[in-house]
Amino acid sequence: MRVRGHHLAALVAATLVLGACGPHVIRAPEEQRSEGPRSEGPHRVRVRRLLVAYAGATGAGSAVTRDREEARERAAMIAGMAREGQLSFRELVTEYGDPPPDDDDRNRIRLVLPSTQDLSEVEVETALELRVGQVSSPVETTAGYVLLLRESDEDAPEQLTSIGARHILIQFAGAEGAARTVTRSREDALALAHQIAEAARAEDADWRALHQEYSDEEGHNGGDLGIFGRGEMVPAFERAAFRLDVDEISEPIESQFGFHIIQRTR
């Protein structure tokens, strides 16, 4: 898919001008930088999570019409598909998983410890009992039925101290550091950022060309931020970047500077 199109051209024709902020703009102020990763306990696992929601479950969207029993059967079917190995768990999450009620982080690799708060107690208990590569049976939660896959423990996101990344920044009127020439609304900026993220994932994508044409920042390095450690970037950007696998491209991530499409490079 190419970003250039009549709809996209209409969105950006009057506003696509390089802003006055460079890559340094997303770096956290010196006094707010942390001194490295948080210290965690030794009992930790990394998991991918697949949610099958049903009508009436917490956070279920209006498009979800299946009932509780249909969701249970669907989750069991997907678990069987995962164990057969015809599709990777990541592909199953993308094709069959429902978006979680908080934010669409369906392919995030989660670090789970006994003290983890953003998963239910039964999910944490199940995750900590899995072997590497094992897929759980469907686990019922208030949001629906959940499948968990335990990933390898190597290079766990919370154990990483530094990564490399590049980004494309799409600003909107009122965003911090946005030039006066940036007049698009937040909604238009988000729509444009989604289209650029999709285009960046295409097989024939040219990241540097996309950056040159659409990114609201100065510089000719394709938005390459080099290597940076924890605490060096603003929190929203850092959280998203450290969750990515190498070469993975994020969905639009909002910070005070606008929307970032991030690709982890190392």
Give the CATH number of the domain where residue 133 resides: 3.10.50.40
Q: What is the pLDDT of residues 83-120, one digit of tens each?
A: 888 788 888 998 999 987 766 667 788 888 888 888 99
In angstroms, the first-to-last Cα distance of the chain is 25
Q: Is 183 found in the same domain as 85? A: no
Distance between alpha carbon 209 and the CA centroid of its chain, in Å? 23
Q: What are phi and psi of 47, to 5 degrees?
A: -135, 150
Report which of 207, 257, 247, 244 is spatially closest to residue 109, judged by C-alpha positions. 244
In this predicted structure, which of 22-36, 130-144, 151-165, 244-258 has the lowest mean pLDDT? 22-36
Q: Is 245 found in the same domain as 167? A: yes
Q: Is 166 found in the same domain as 236? A: yes
**CA-CA distance, 19 to 64, in Å (whole number)?**
41
Task: Write out the residue range of the structural domain in which residue 210 sits.
Answer: 6-34+161-264
Q: Is 198 found in the same domain as 117? A: no
Residue 39 lies in a domain: no
Q: Is 103 found in the same domain as 142? A: yes
Residue 189 pLDDT greater than 90, yes or no: yes
Q: What is the mean pLDDT of the chain?
A: 82
pLDDT at 41: 35
Q: What does pTM read for this prediction?
A: 0.48
Residue 40 lies in a domain: no
Q: Is 144 found in the same domain as 108? A: yes
Q: Is 249 found in the same domain as 234? A: yes
- Token match 């079917």: residue? 77
**CA-CA distance, 9 to 107, in Å (whole number)?**
30
